[in-house]
Amino acid sequence: MGTRTEGLLGKLICVLLSCLMVMAAASSRATIMGKVSNTKFHHHSERLRRNLLANGLGKSPPMGWNSWNHFWCDINEDIVKAAADALVSSGLSKLGYEYVNIDDCWGEQVRDENGNLQAKNATFPSGIKALADYVHSKGLKLGMYSSAGYYTCSKQMPGSLGYEEQDAKTFALWGVDYLKYDNCYTDGSKPMDRYPIMTRALMKAGRPIYYSLCEWGDMHPALWGFQVGNSWRTTGDITDTFESVMSRADANEVYADYARPGGWNDPDMLEVGNGGMTKDEYIIHFSLWAISKAPLLLGCDVRNLTKDTMDIIGNKEVIAINQDPLGVQAKKVRTDVEIWTAPLSGYRFAVLIVNRDQWPANVTTHLEDFGIPPKTSVTARDLWEHKTLETPLAGNLSANLDPHTCKMYLLQPIS
């Protein structure tokens, strides 16, 4: 009896040990799988967060002023303050021009003893924080400039390569709202490797900062920029000539499908008011940037605006095309006499007819070319004449254009 009991007890102990081993293995596997699952989820979450940038900015193309086109390196804090004052006093800030952006040459040639960027004492003696406070007091936002290289493009100050987190924290501490990030004096690595480092640095800086990639379009940033920044240059630098404007509009249009709220194609800053073109050519320039959903960053001396310049950059109806919440960039539907069109919110359409040639042009185009259904009548609002055509259009739209002029219409279906 004792021997049988001892035998049964031994078997029972073996069964219990086996069960415990199975439970331990299952528990261990669950723990490991949990860790793997959590790791995968964390990685996916982080990647999604990086791709979306998560700063909530750029819902519409940014509007404001940048120092480079007019002042180049001859910039100082007094000019920046005066530009902010001018945006307010002229009424431009109420139209949406809110960014006051300092381009290259604002900093000392070397970092301080702690490795921080420092404002150039000769031209920005009050420092960037004080300047940001001044700009913010006007209800505006301050933008700054750096480069994804060892130096900025002027080679007069350090770039941010290798200092991304430190510089992003510095910009946030100063109260910066916008960063234009250039592509000079690099280490030879690809921009799609260097630019995301600043993306992650800005995300951890503790302040929403609009991120503008200035890669010049070399590596087609429209194809990867939306995962990295809020806008991306699709072209080389603009100059104050009609040929430069048109060539950049052409290059930018290639990437129209990649623009959307939160991420915009950028054919460079506006030259309106700098004196190199006629008023009609500047109207074409502003109209193309507006319908292309490009950033509207003034590049002239806003302290001394002429009436002609104000009439162009202050056109509320054209600005509304640029800021339309649908956020669809225009495309060309004809190229002999150029016709650009973009759908807008509320089932409306923007149409821009451009005569870039040296002789007059008579244009007739079909409404169906713009995506308007057949047999649909539309009202047509001339956005530069500020008047609605008396007779609704049905089927066709016609216009007569002098050399280097344009017509811009807002079409609203009525039947």
Encode burial over 187-204: b for 16+ CB neighbours within 10 A, e otherwise.
eeeebbebbbbbbbbbbe
Residues 235, 295 share a domain? yes
Span 15-41, average pLDDT: 39
Residue-wise pLDDT tens digits, 349-391: 999 999 999 999 999 999 999 889 988 999 999 999 999 999 9
| Dist CA 238 CA 216 (whole Å) | 10
- CB-based contacts of 163-167 (< 8 A; 24+ apart in sequence): 163/111, 163/115, 163/117, 164/197, 164/198, 164/200, 164/201, 165/201, 165/204, 165/205, 166/115, 166/116, 167/117, 167/201
Amino acid present at 241 = T
Q: Does one domain contain both 45 and 85?
A: no
Boundary residue ending a domain (322, 344, 363): 322
**Higher pLDDT among residues 84 and 395, named by residue:** 84
- Sign for the CA dihedral angle at 318, 321, 322, 323 comes to positive
Q: What is the pLDDT of residue 54?
A: 67
Mean per-residue pLDDT over the chain, rounded: 90
d(CA 142, CA 293): 22
406 in any annotated domain: yes
Cα angle for residues 367, 61, 58 (degrees, 5° grid): 130
Determine how many CB atoms are found less than 10 A away from the CB of residue 134: 18
- Binned at pLDDT 50, 70 and 90, residue 13 comes out as very low
Whether 166 and 276 share a structural domain: yes
% of the chain with per-residue pLDDT over 90? 84
Q: What is the pLDDT of residue 23?
A: 41
| Structure letter (DSSP) for residue 335 | T
Say whether both 247 and 165 belong to one domain.
yes
Q: Is residue 242 part of a domain?
A: yes
187 in the same domain as 42 = no
Is the Cβ–Cβ distance between 98 and 323 less than 8 Å?
A: no
Q: Are residues 33 and 100 in the same domain?
A: no
Scan for tokens 């350090």, then name that residue: 158
Residue 182: which residues within 8 A CB-CB, separation 6 or more? 104, 145, 146, 147, 148, 149, 152, 153, 159, 214
Higher pLDDT residue, 16 or 414? 414
Q: Compute the distance between CA of residue 225 and CA of residue 232 in angstroms, rounded to an integer.
A: 6
For the chain, the domain total comes to 3
Q: Is the residue at 350 inside a domain?
A: yes
Q: Residue with structure tokens 């240059």?
A: 233
Query: What integer pLDDT is reported at residue 53 of this predicted model?
Result: 63
Could you confirm whether 182 is annotated as catalytic? yes
35 or 396: which leads in pLDDT: 396
Q: Which two tokens stand for residue 11?
A: 């078997």
Q: Which of 7-16, 98-107, 183-192, 266-275 has the lowest mean pLDDT?
A: 7-16
CA distance 322 to 231: 14
What does 78-137 look like in DSSP terms, one character per residue? HHHHHHHHHHHHTSTGGGT--EEE--SS-B-SS--TTS---B-TTT-TT-HHHHHHHHHH
Number of Cβ atoms within 10 Å of the Cβ of 21? 10
CA 19/CA 232 separation, integer angstroms:
61
Q: What is the pLDDT of residue 55?
A: 87
pTM, to two decimals:
0.88
| Residue whose token pair is 């528990």 | 27
Task: Single out the residue of 160, 124, 102 nearest to residue 297, CA to CA.
Answer: 102
Please state, in angstroms and as integers, the Cα–Cα distance from residue 382 to each residue in 77, 265, 287, 343, 406, following that order: 40, 26, 12, 16, 11
408 shares its domain with 273:
no
The arithmetic mean of pLDDT across residues 184-200, rounded, is 97
Q: Two tokens at 62?
A: 């940014």
48 and 171 belong to one structural domain:
no
Same domain, 292 and 381: no
Q: Which of 322, 354, 377 is the C-terminal boundary of a domain?
A: 322
Domain boundaries, position 148: 63-322
Query: What is the distance between the alpha carbons of residues 84 and 100, in angstroms, rounded to a whole number?
Result: 6
Catalytic residue among 103, 177, 182, 268: 182
pLDDT of residue 415: 64
Residue 57 lies in a domain: no
Task: Annotate 121-187 with DSSP letters as a single string.
Answer: TTT-TT-HHHHHHHHHHTT-EEEEEEESSSB-TTSSSB--TT-HHHHHHHHHHHT--EEEEE--S--
259 and 397 together in one domain: no
- Model confidence at 409: pLDDT above 70: yes
In the set 133, 237, 250, 369, the catalytic residue is: 237
Q: Does one domain contain both 121 and 268?
A: yes
Residue 58 placed within a domain: no
**Residue 392 pLDDT > 70, yes or no?**
yes
Residue 5: its pLDDT value, please? 40
What pLDDT is stored for residue 337 in this prediction? 86
Rg (Cα) of the chain, in Å, rounded? 28
CATH number for the domain harbouring residue 154: 3.20.20.70
Q: Is 266 known to be catalytic? A: no
Of 322, 355, 390, the residue at which a domain comes to its end is 322
Q: With 70 as the cut, is the pLDDT of residue 41 above it?
A: no
| Domain-embedded: residue 84 | yes
CATH code for the domain of 375: 2.60.40.1180
Instruction: Give CA angle at 411 (293, 394), nearest 5°.
Output: 145
Instruction: Classify burial at 122, counting beta carbons within 10 Å of its beta carbon; exposed 0-12, middle 13-18, buried 19 or more.
Output: exposed
DSSP state, residue 23: H
Percentage of the chain beyond pLDDT 70 is 87
Q: Looking at the domain assignment, is residue 196 inside a domain?
A: yes
Same domain as 241, residue 185: yes
Residue 301 lies in a domain: yes
Strands 377-382 and 331-334: unpaired
